[in-house]
Amino acid sequence: MIDGASRKKRRTTVHVAHQHLLGVINTESVRFEAGQLVRILDAGCGSCRLLAFLAENLPRSNSTVTYEFYGFDVYDFWPLADFGEAIDDLARQFPEISWQDRISRIPMQDNWPYPDAYFDVIISNQVGEHLNNHDHFFSEIARCLAPSGFSVNLFPLRHVIMEWHVLVPFAHRIKNFDVLKAFIAACASIGKGAARRRAASVSVDAYSANRAEYVIKYTHYISYSELLTLSKRHGLLLSMRYTKEFYTQKIRRILSRPVAVTYARKRSLFGDWLLVFLLRYVQGVTVVLEKGGHFRPKSR
């Protein structure tokens, strides 16, 4: 059981992913004009901790624009009670915002409940591996994103060696329930994987069955090439710049050094590509999507 103090500490810990998304948004926000209203959507907002972090820190980083925050998640992952608690937490931190009107809970297969081209920034934090319809997700980004906006997504790919939900290598590659359950149990028996954090009242067999079912039913990893195909299919320009910075933030955290709140816009194209090629096996990539508008067909 987690006591109150530990629960409070866990909730107030700033995730490296949150710091990284803040850095990307700060860096890319140079495209917005002073005085502009910038609407931000967290697609798959879950506990809403990322929204709370951004609502607190983005105005400090860039006071020239006005930010408006929205989020949604799906019924499949967040029971109503947990979702209500997340909204209550936001309301306590930012009582001036009507979060009941800003946070939605929808069926996974439904279109997002927003008008076309409504958001200047769409973000997702390690949601991609849980999507059972990646086409739908990308089509809704393309529909809801403003022409001059951008979407940034922390995206674990099928290439990762470690399945981070169970901390067992290659678990997401095993589709046979009995085999996966046995593999997780075998790792647990030698002290490997997330099983070491299970409650004392839960047996290794029960834990392994639970985690194996979760991985098979609720994770749907795609490959690097499938990601490129999706972006092209939905008319989105894809970049994986800032992937390196996610890992740089992790290293700075380990070394107890201040995290970066903005990144360099001048990039080494070869360096970015090479690091994406390597780091996609570690934990994930940073996917930046835009609608473009650079190309103008010649008049006849």
Task: Specify the DSSP element, H or E, that contains 182.
Answer: helix 177-189
Instruction: Write out the two tokens for 294.
Output: 């650079």
Nearest to 286 by CA among 251, 231, 222, 243: 243
Residue type, 52: A
Q: Who's near 98: CB < 8 A, 6+ residues apart?
A: none
Q: How far apart are CA 10 and CA 24, in angstroms?
A: 24
Q: Who's near 84: CB < 8 A, 6+ residues apart?
A: none
Write down the pLDDT at residue 215: 96
Binning the chain into helix, strand and coil, the percentages to the nearest 5 are 45, 15, 35
- Highest CATH level, class, for 4-158+221-290: alpha beta
Instruction: Write out the two tokens for 41.
Output: 């959507």
In eight-state DSSP terms, residue 260 is P
Q: How far apart are CA 55 and CA 64, in angstroms?
A: 15
Distances (CA, A) of 227 to 157, 158, 223, 238, 289: 9, 10, 6, 9, 11
The domain spans of the chain are: 4-158+221-290, 162-218
Q: How far apart are CA 257 and CA 249, in angstroms?
A: 9
Q: How far apart are CA 208 and CA 186, in angstroms?
A: 9
Task: Specify the DSSP element, H or E, that contains 228.
Answer: helix 224-233
Nearest to 26 by CA among 291, 287, 275, 264: 264
Q: Is the pTM of this model over 0.75?
A: yes
Task: Specify the DSSP element, H or E, that contains 215.
Answer: helix 204-218
Write down the pLDDT at residue 11: 41
Write down the pLDDT at residue 294: 64
Write down the pLDDT at residue 200: 67
Return phi, psi of residue 120, to 5°.
-85, -30
Return phi, psi of residue 86, to 5°.
-65, -40
Residue ranges of the chain whose pLDDT lies below 70: 1-14, 77-79, 196-200, 293-300
Q: How far apart are CA 86 and CA 91, in angstroms?
A: 9
Residue type, 253: R
